[in-house]
Amino acid sequence: MLMVLAVAVGVAAGLLGGWLGLQLSRALGLYGRDVFKPWRREPVPEVGGAGLALMLAVGYALLYLLTRDAYTLAACLLAVYTLLVGLADDLWRMDPFTKPLLTMTGAAIPYALAAYDPRVYIPVYDRWARLSLAYPALLPLLIGVSANAVNMVDVVNGSAPTATLAATLALLASALLAQAGIGWSPRPAALASAALLASAVAAYLAAYNRYPARTFNGDSGSLTMGALLGYTAAMLKQEAVYLVAIAPLILNGFQIVATVRGFAERRQIPRPVKIDERGVVHPVCDPRTPPTLVQLLVVEEPLDEKGIYVRLALLYGLSAVAAVAAAALYYLIL
């Protein structure tokens, strides 16, 4: 019953959140140009994801009232915190060091509420290892790296929500495999929180951010989706599986950091692709440009935005399937 309610609340949060984001964009005068569609003259609302983040926080708050589980309260406060960090970046453009630092400090919320479990399952020995000192140091990376990795793939319509959706579904499936394979029962509130995130992102994607997008996500949306995705992995104790699920995002972020030799605001990075007047994307052959996922997809054959999105979605889906396969090996075979 709790899962069904979480899905229903999530769908409502995604639909209402997108609408609120449109109103917020108009109220703040935040509009962007859709560079992948040269023929699209009208400006596009830029922070639709802020409304999604706000309604996700409301959804987690409702789950907390029903379950009184500290994990759902931590997810609620993390959504609000990351929303504020992202909105500040949307309005004032933070430097490339401040944004990652602030997203990582979001881990202070589950710390304060004791809403994390420092144990890690070791399959060969069929037991849990307690990492009381190491795990608290890893949690900021789990949340902060995830937030910025999703933010970095938010380049074409639908990419960030699709990546979040695929990875969240993989985490849910893996948690159920853990329950079947090793008899470990995930917290019901954690499963409900993951279901809420997946359904909210799916509804928002279908109604507002799929090609051609009615609104962009803004950093307020993409950072929040990524932070909640990382914390969902911690709630469900699927950290190892999570790394497989977001492998394309990690690769994309690593290539950018390695090429620019450090952190850089994505708007300051030389464009790795160019768009012609028909909206077809071509690679830029310049050693200063990082080999991003989008650039790699168009090296062999130039594609339009829709073609890029389809290939990205397939890549995210394959990574999710690989993550579930790894979980099956992890919990059912080893």
The predicted-structure confidence for 29-88, as pLDDT tens digits, reads as follows 999 999 899 888 899 999 999 999 999 999 999 999 999 999 999 999 999 999 999 999
User: Does residue 78 contact residue 143 with C-beta atoms inside 8 Å?
Assistant: yes
Each residue of 282-321: pLDDT tens digit? 988 777 778 889 998 999 899 999 999 999 999 999 999 9
Each residue of 13-33: pLDDT tens digit? 999 999 999 999 999 999 999
Sign for the pseudo-dihedral over CA of 123, 142, 18, 321? negative
Q: What is the mean pLDDT of the chain?
A: 92
The pLDDT confidence band at residue 330, using thresholds 50, 70 and 90, is confident
Please enumerate in sequence order all residues whose Cβ is within 8 A of that of 206, keeping only pairs 6 or more positions apart, or say none.
none
Element (H, E) at 251: helix 247-260
**pLDDT at position 115:** 96
Each residue of 87-108: pLDDT tens digit? 999 999 888 789 999 999 999 9
**pLDDT at position 263:** 60
- 42 phi/psi in degrees, rounded to 5: -70, 140
User: Does residue 289 contact residue 295 with C-beta atoms inside 8 Å?
Assistant: yes
Give the whole-angstrom CA distance, residue 79 versus residue 84. 9
Give the whole-angstrom CA distance, residue 86 versus residue 217. 10
**pLDDT at position 268:** 61
Cα end-to-end distance, the chain, whole Å: 33
% of residues, the chain, pLDDT over 90 = 73
- Secondary structure (3-state) at 286: coil
Q: Are β-strands 303-304 and 280-283 bridged in parallel, bridged antiparallel, or unpaired?
A: antiparallel
Give the whole-angstrom CA distance, residue 193 versus residue 120. 20
- 120 phi/psi in degrees, rounded to 5: -135, 135
Query: Angle at which helices 2-28 and 48-67 pack, to 10 degrees?
Result: 150
Each residue of 106-165: pLDDT tens digit? 999 999 999 999 998 887 777 888 888 889 999 999 999 999 999 999 999 999 999 999
pTM for the model: 0.95
Which residues face 128 on adjacent strands?
121
Please enumerate in sequence order all residues whose Cβ is within 8 A of that of 81, keeping only pairs 6 or more positions apart, or say none.
106, 109
Place of tokens 């130039």: 302
**pLDDT at position 255:** 79
**pLDDT at position 170:** 98
% of residues, the chain, pLDDT over 70 = 96
Burial class (CB in 10 A: 0-12, 13-18, 19+), 133: exposed
Place of tokens 């996700």: 56
The number of angstroms, rounded, from the C-alpha of 146 to the middle of its chain's C-alpha atoms is 6
